[in-house]
Amino acid sequence: MAIKPLPNEKDLLQRIAEGDDRAFVELFHAYHEPLAKYVYTLLESVQMCEEIVQDVFVKIWENREALPKLDKFTSYLFILTRNYTINCLRKIIKDRKHGQLYVDDILHSGDDTGMFKLDDEYQDVLNRAVAQLPQSQQKVLMLRQQGLKTREIAEQMGISTDSVKKYQQWAASSVSKFIKSHTALGVLLAIIKYQQ
């Protein structure tokens, strides 16, 4: 991501370092949009994108005394934004893992309090998600479910191991998106995520 420096950037940074909030607002307005676009390409979430950009600018304000010493502010801004975005992605992955483990515990706990209804609903949505995949992706998933390894699937389908991996990635991504948009499980995962 290339951000074009402002012509008066050094002056703005000096004024911000001295506590000038008007200069800070000017800096924020100048760089908010390109940063938001960059973060959105990685997260595809307007809400998380806004939170990250705001967090970046809060960090800049908190460390404003050091701003005049920076050689390339735009590089600093990019690195700071990238690091915040990576941390956010790590948190999302961690939350999803915890949420999925929780859901797996519920679905396989043997509890007869109606949780099997969710299991049936989940299985139905999963079946529909797999049915909408291209035939090659469905076959890779079916063979993987039978316990075949990547090399064995490639030999059986007459394709490369790289193709098998790609088909599996695409299938997993499509199924995940389908499930999130078609089942209460997605809502349950979101609730679990925000309770942690």
How large is the average pLDDT for residues 60-68?
93
Any domain includes 39: yes
At residue 128, the pLDDT reads 80
Q: Is the same domain home to 71 and 123? A: no
Query: What does the pLDDT look like over 45-62, one tens digit per residue?
Result: 788 888 889 999 999 999
- CATH number of domain containing 45: 1.10.1740.10
Domain total for the chain?
2
Residue 189 scores a pLDDT above 50: no
User: Distance between CA atoms of 1 and 35, rounded to whole angstroms?
Assistant: 9
Q: What is the pLDDT of residues 107-137, one digit of tens each?
A: 444 444 434 444 556 667 777 888 888 999 8
Domain membership flag for residue 101: no
Q: What is the band of 94 on the pLDDT scale with cuts at 50, 70, 90?
A: low
Final residue of a structural domain among 65, 93, 121: 93
125 CB neighbour count, 10 Å cutoff:
20
Q: Are residues 85 and 114 in the same domain?
A: no
Q: Are residues 57 and 17 in the same domain?
A: yes
The stretches of the chain forming alpha helices (DSSP H) are 9-17, 21-43, 46-62, 73-107, 115-131, 135-145, 150-157, 161-182, 184-195
Residue 135 within any structural domain of the chain: yes
Q: How far apart are CA 39 and CA 45, in angstroms?
A: 9
Same domain assignment for residues 119 and 56: no
Q: Is 19 exposed, middle or buried (0-12, 13-18, 19+ CB in 10 A)?
A: exposed
Residues 119, 75 share a domain = no
CB atoms within 10 A of CB 137: 20
Which residue in the block uniquely carries the two structure tokens 């915040």? Answer: 84
- Sign for the pseudo-dihedral over CA of 39, 188, 132, 162: positive
Say whether both 116 and 187 belong to one domain: yes
Nearest-angstrom CA–CA distance, 178 and 171 = 10
Q: What is the rounded distance in angstroms from the CA atom of residue 139 to the CA atom of residue 135?
A: 6
What's the pLDDT at 122?
Answer: 60
Domain extent for 150: 110-195
- % of the chain surpassing 90 pLDDT: 26
Mean pLDDT, the chain, integer: 77
Can you give the pLDDT at residue 121? 60
The mean pLDDT of 19-40, rounded to a whole number, is 90
Q: Is 152 exposed, middle or buried (0-12, 13-18, 19+ CB in 10 A)?
A: middle
Regarding whether 114 and 60 lie in a shared domain, the answer is: no
Asked whether the beta carbons of 81 and 39 are under 8 A apart, the reply is yes
